[in-house]
Structure 1
């Protein structure tokens, strides 16, 4: 099968015990059928621990309560890996932060930015969204039931046009146009299944009339950002589950309190970006990387509005955290990577959190 790997995919190296964030802390670890077969063969004390960790093999997961994996040692390393080798641990653990999407004709491979090492690599390859083509057996099963290859190719073209615009145009203009385009596509494609084949984001962006009359979505209003921070994204239990991101989000809450009106927040955010042009490149790369990993989900869901909105939401939240933690993040790639990885770990892997954030965004847009 053809594989398209992000150009720096094969450069990844795990930080191991020196990583400031343990991979599986706070995450449910799913077990594939092959994982269970392999792990059931382990005997001795480790076999007993595996038995109890899975409820006597009645559930195909570790850490169902999203606390700390029962196989972490005092150094935050995996006991299964240390005792039985890397090939023994669950597939989810073996592959992380490698991210795969199998579309039948090809598979895309990238690195997930919830890993601080992957986030740092993205910063080291800022703006590089190129892929390397190779022939390889697929790592994952087919991720879609859609077999309309023509439509998939068109979505890939749209993704490419959006990515190019993110890097070359004003971010507020581009993100606002992206959301309008996605909403238009979703509203009309249901009425005519061939409608999407004729849409080009590049042409849409060029033909927009009076874009200044449209409320921008970058930066988003402070009131909307406050609603995000008051949602389950920053649940009180997060203080114990993941104190790092909890501290970041609560600091952002405090930061937003100083703005008495929307104009002062917009002016401050715009001024910060104007005085930190390098961060505009970081945020453009972050938004483009989101599109690379997530836009083609619409091939299965047709939820164009939601998928694009979430990318806008997450980019705005990362901007807010950059501004809030400016004393830590200014010019420091490690600090920027820490912020992005911590946020992505919290926001990207919980559908209920993303659903709630999208509802807040959608409500604000309708009321605007």
Structure 2
């Protein structure tokens, strides 16, 4: 690997910083301690900052030379509302809160790169360091954009990086096109007429209608979505009933829809709504249909994805830059890619062997209570950010 030696020399300090963040997780829009730490570090290194975008967001600005060109680098800061199973020294000190997705590592990698860029300034232009709150369901990227992120800090392109367990340590992945799905939720409330379970003819039972809807929704993916277009429709909750001998008045279905394109999403929502209306009408029920669009699909720009792959190859060799397998997980960096060209890439987190004694018995997978970020990635990820900046702001269009 062609790592910047300074990062390896300071690995102990970077590890201590990352583990401090891990031990003090904060949920979406509550990242006050984390943003204070980020702001203090950037200020210590002479980097001007702006605070308050998206609530607890921090943007640092590093300028060098005379070029008007600019690039944006983004790291997420928030944790998840889950109990950590690990018992090692840097385990969460906050009950019910955990850095189970590696945002502590993402923040540390970008901070390390920021310090190096501020000291060396071996580029011509401006780097915007975007420390974003509330990726885990809060839409912090959307809120920063609403607060004027791209108007106040005009950049040509924006880039993100996420650790990926299961990939072999030392690998990167970046690909053009969709790499993460849209995230959407639905809630359907069926209004029937309750009655005695022994006399169903006197009632309008919402339960079999709910079952019919669950089965019908599966035909949307299997028979109405083109086979080459990926989509998921999952009913994950059904709530109804209070007694075994009572037909309930109401039944509620909830779940998620994931797609890689807005066109497919539009079609699925329309078909679900139509099926709900007609199946319920045929059975004499009324229905409330709610469909919430959360995160759009994360779609990498072609040129920017190829640019990232070239930078990665210069660090780890082209044989260790792999195709990015799309995932049905969602990511609110997608909002930034709706506004600017860019690339959301993966950096391998390994198979979990890096974890300290005292980790939980579960796998080292994202959103698992036994997860921990691989600190050996810190020099690698920081090197990637620095080289990305140096190559991008050396290009002459």
> Greater relative contact order: 1 or 2 (C-alpha under 8 angstroms, separation 6 or more)?
2
TM-score range, shorter chain: under 0.3
Is the strand fraction higher in 1 or 2? 2
Higher helix share: 1
Structure-2-length-normalised TM-score: 0.23
Structure ID, larger Rg = 2
